[in-house]
Structure 1
Amino acid sequence: MILTNCAACAAPLAHTAPRCVRCWTRYCDSTCQHDHWRRGHKQICKKIHRGGNAEQYNADKKYKEAVAEAVEACAADTKGQTCYICTQALHWKTKEGLVRGCACRGTAGFAHVSCLAEQAKILVAEGEENNLSDKVMNERWLRWSDCSLCKQRHHGVVACALAWACWKTYVGRPETDEARKLAMGLLGNGLFDGKHYEDALSVREAGLSMLRRVGVSEERILVTKSCLAITYAELGHLEKALSMERDIYFGRLKLDGRDNQETLRAANNYALSLVRLQRFEEARSLLPKTIPVARRVLGEGHRLTLKMRWNYAQALYKDVDATLDDLREAVATLTDTERISRRVLGGAHPLTVGIEDALEVLRAAFHAP
């Protein structure tokens, strides 16, 4: 993770915590620093300094680990393929293998994380140099997270590796730099996609603290709080997550209105928290009001629309008091949602797989004695 804990005792650190004057490794106090020096920091301090100091050194190390994890996870799918960017099987410099973690199918979409990262880095740098508009810069920034071929977001360990690539690119910039702020948010998302939930929580908490410190819009704060609430839920802090999701949803309604994509995302997250706490009636009250809006504003094949319909089906069939009509509606909803998800995202996408698994469980329940 990013360095939010003392290197000696692992205690959470304040933003103003002291650090090594040479390599900027951070500590609770001078006692921890002296103890860490005696336990081996003396031998690697210069190496960390030469690597760009503690945060950069850590980011580079984590990036290499994340790339290795992604390549290994994709090995069966990428065998015999070549990178669509550099046309090689092994990267000419890093010797890393290929990955594919988007919605591309067939022989499309195979690439090296290094190649994907270099493309994104070049596009963003050109935009910064030429002072391009916010709209164009936002489109270019998406190359850190979205496939340029299928236009769908990378997922799983590939998203995690790309997020570390992004963070190591911009970590050396000041806190107020926009690219650095975006990179920290992307890192939290990537860690979450890679199922490194504890690390994602640490990064997202640090990110929220940083945004409040430098001063950003209420819109930006709501986005970051939403990511944080999702992480709390994944780690089992369900009541805390629900409280945050409720506040975020009503904050979005007030700020953006019901037809805004972020309001719809907040509604879906709020509904999912209700489902997780088995407050099914409340979820069934919320989602039928928001799903038609999502269909109209985003379209049937948008990932958020698909997730909302999946959550609505869960609110129907997971309720112990569900009627036969409820179960039939859940099956019909999941069947249609799975069909659309498979067409748009592909059969290997985590969303498609999750919907299929839910549909299989539900169909099995119908045949249970």
Structure 2
Amino acid sequence: MILTQCAVCATDLGLTLGKKCGRCSTRYCGPECQVQHWKEGGHDQLCKPIKKAGGAEQYNANKKYSEAVTVAAEACADDTKGQTCYICTQAVHRHTKEGLVRMCACRGTSGFAHVSCLAEQAKILVAEVEENNLGHEAFNERWTRWYSCSLCEQGYHGVVACALGWACWKTYVGRPDADSARRLAMTMLGNGLSEAKHYEDALTVEEAMFSMQQRLGDSESNTLVTLGNLAVTYQALGQLEKSLSMKRDVYSGWVDLFGEEHPETLREGINYANCLVQMLRFKEAKALLRKTMPAARRVLGENHDIPLEMRSMYAQALCRDPAATLDDLREAVTTLEDTERTARRLLGGSHPVAAEIEKSLRIARAALRARDTPGSA
């Protein structure tokens, strides 16, 4: 996680409290902990290396990035045997010696790469925009390389997304708080940590991001993005009531800003419906999805991930509702069969979205068989 705690006693310091080592910027709650760390915690040996690396936050980011790359390469090892990086054409990176990864929607022999090659590619593309003043639209287009594959154009997931989150953060962490790339990198890191299911660490990053946005007076749309990410993390941590309240507010905020058919509004609609389903509030979830699904199909097309996830969520709400009729169960199965075929074609069977739809389909079919069986309740 980013450094928001005292290095000795772990007191929460946010982004501004406490004091820092004058040489390397390691953070402490006060002089007592700083002295203890120097005398007993090994900081006398680490201080110079940390300073040489660019300071405590940079040193931590570099270390976490290396660890995340190792985890990602190990997780992809079976899939990447005998393959080479589509960027540098090597199996093992010539400098870092890291292995290959692939956690996007590429299949067959496509999409294998080193995390460091993907990161360098994104870094160069963003730097070109900044150096040549190509504008906001070009910046946003190039920035997608930090989180999506240039071949299949689908987002990375799992531990590869986490490694790229750390890669992005270590690239821009040294910039001022108000710098847009640094703030986007913090968002990338939080999302990557969530993808790897490191929810407590993601919460720390997202809370720090929200605090910084409040301090700097960030735009309402940027703040809504962070609040939406926070709400998803709270749900993953089991804080459902808090998550639901935030998701309702975030969804309403996007509606007020950009209307009901904006892509971000539609995505937050999925998140809101997901929490409603988890809390067994099926009637509300179905009502919301009936309203948003036609807009998603009209604006984004049938093959976009948002309409796919909406249809899957609607089928889950139909199937899991204790008041579901036989026709409801049949509709759920038909819907999931269709979305499962589309997800497999677009994303591949191993993609988490496709795998989740397949799981929901198995559950819906079992429920339908149980209801269809003569003599069943």
Q: TM-score normalised to the size of structure 1?
A: 0.98
* Separation in structure 1 between the aligned mates of residue 228 and residue 159 of structure 2, nearest angstrom: 21
Identify which of 135, 138, 145 aligns with 1:136.
Answer: 138
Partner SS, residue 28 of structure 2 = coil
* Separation in structure 2 between the aligned mates of residue 82 and residue 243 of structure 1, nearest angstrom: 47
Structure 1 match to 2:173: 171
Partner SS, residue 77 of structure 2 = helix
Any conservation in 1 of the 2:269–2:292 contact (CA below 8 Å)?
A: yes
Structure 2 match to 1:102: 104
Query: After the TM superposition, which of the residue ranges 241-250 and 316-325 deviates more from structure 2?
Result: 316-325
TM-superposed CA distance for 1:335, in Å, is 0.8
Is structure 2 residue 365 aligned with structure 1 residue 346? no
Structure 2 match to 1:267: 269
* Separation in structure 1 between the aligned mates of residue 2 and residue 308 of structure 2, nearest angstrom: 33
* Separation in structure 2 between the aligned mates of residue 5 and residue 328 of structure 1, nearest angstrom: 52
* Separation in structure 2 between the aligned mates of residue 105 and residue 232 of structure 1, nearest angstrom: 33
* Separation in structure 2 between the aligned mates of residue 319 and residue 82 of structure 1, nearest angstrom: 48
Structure 2 portions without partners, runs of 5+: 371-375
- The one-letter code of the counterpart of 1:184 is M
* Separation in structure 1 between the aligned mates of residue 15 and residue 311 of structure 2, nearest angstrom: 41
TM-superposed CA distance for 1:101, in Å, is 0.9
TM-superposed CA distance for 1:93, in Å, is 0.3
Any conservation in 1 of the 2:319–2:367 contact (CA below 8 Å)?
A: no
1:83-232 aligned at under 5 Å gives the runs 83-232=85-234
Structure 1 match to 2:50: 48
Is structure 2 residue 338 aligned with structure 1 residue 336? yes
Per-residue CA shift, 1:93-129, capped at 9, x if unaligned?
Answer: 0010000011111101000001111111111111111
* Separation in structure 2 between the aligned mates of residue 269 and residue 307 of structure 1, nearest angstrom: 10
Is structure 2 residue 73 aligned with structure 1 residue 58? no
- The one-letter code of the counterpart of 2:157 is H
Per-residue CA shift, 1:71-109, capped at 9, x if unaligned?
Answer: 000001000000001111000100100000111111010
- The one-letter code of the counterpart of 2:118 is L
TM-superposed CA distance for 1:35, in Å, is 2.1
Partner SS, residue 304 of structure 1 = helix
Structure 2 match to 1:239: 241
TM-superposed CA distance for 1:364, in Å, is 2.4
TM-superposed CA distance for 1:159, in Å, is 0.8
Structure 1 match to 2:311: 309
* Separation in structure 2 between the aligned mates of residue 302 and residue 6 of structure 1, nearest angstrom: 44
Partner SS, residue 120 of structure 2 = helix
TM-superposed CA distance for 1:362, in Å, is 2.0
TM-superposed CA distance for 1:4, in Å, is 1.1
Partner SS, residue 203 of structure 1 = helix
Partner SS, residue 364 of structure 1 = helix
Partner SS, residue 322 of structure 2 = coil
* Separation in structure 1 between the aligned mates of residue 116 and residue 153 of structure 2, nearest angstrom: 19
TM-superposed CA distance for 1:222, in Å, is 0.7
Any conservation in 1 of the 2:330–2:368 contact (CA below 8 Å)?
A: no
Partner SS, residue 368 of structure 2 = helix
Structure 1 match to 2:24: 23
Structure 1 portions without partners, runs of 5+: none
- The one-letter code of the counterpart of 2:37 is H
TM-superposed CA distance for 1:321, in Å, is 2.2
- The one-letter code of the counterpart of 1:136 is A
* Separation in structure 2 between the aligned mates of residue 158 and residue 288 of structure 1, nearest angstrom: 34
* Separation in structure 2 between the aligned mates of residue 365 and residue 73 of structure 1, nearest angstrom: 34
* Separation in structure 2 between the aligned mates of residue 113 and residue 2 of structure 1, nearest angstrom: 20
Structure 2 match to 1:33: 34
TM-superposed CA distance for 1:319, in Å, is 1.6
Per-residue CA shift, 1:12-69, capped at 9, x if unaligned?
Answer: 1132221111111111122222222222222211121111110000000000000000
* Separation in structure 2 between the aligned mates of residue 88 and residue 257 of structure 1, nearest angstrom: 47
* Separation in structure 1 between the aligned mates of residue 343 and residue 363 of structure 2, nearest angstrom: 18
Per-residue CA shift, 1:313-367, capped at 9, x if unaligned?
Answer: 1111112222211111111111111111111111111100111011112222334
* Separation in structure 2 between the aligned mates of residue 303 and residue 207 of structure 1, nearest angstrom: 27
Percent identical pairs in the alignment equals 64
Any conservation in 1 of the 2:206–2:229 contact (CA below 8 Å)?
A: yes
Query: After the TM superposition, which of the residue ranges 161-170 and 44-53 deviates more from structure 2?
Result: 44-53
- The one-letter code of the counterpart of 2:10 is A
* Separation in structure 1 between the aligned mates of residue 76 and residue 14 of structure 2, nearest angstrom: 38
- The one-letter code of the counterpart of 1:15 is L
Structure 1 vs Structure 2 CA RMSD:
1.1
Structure 2 match to 1:10: 10
Partner SS, residue 127 of structure 1 = helix
Runs of at least 4 residues off by over 4 Å: none
* Separation in structure 1 between the aligned mates of residue 307 and residue 210 of structure 2, nearest angstrom: 27
* Separation in structure 1 between the aligned mates of residue 141 and residue 93 of structure 2, nearest angstrom: 26
- The one-letter code of the counterpart of 1:170 is Y
Partner SS, residue 343 of structure 1 = helix
- The one-letter code of the counterpart of 1:18 is K
Partner SS, residue 140 of structure 1 = helix
1:268-307 aligned at under 5 Å gives the runs 268-307=270-309
Any conservation in 1 of the 2:289–2:314 contact (CA below 8 Å)?
A: yes
Partner SS, residue 27 of structure 2 = coil
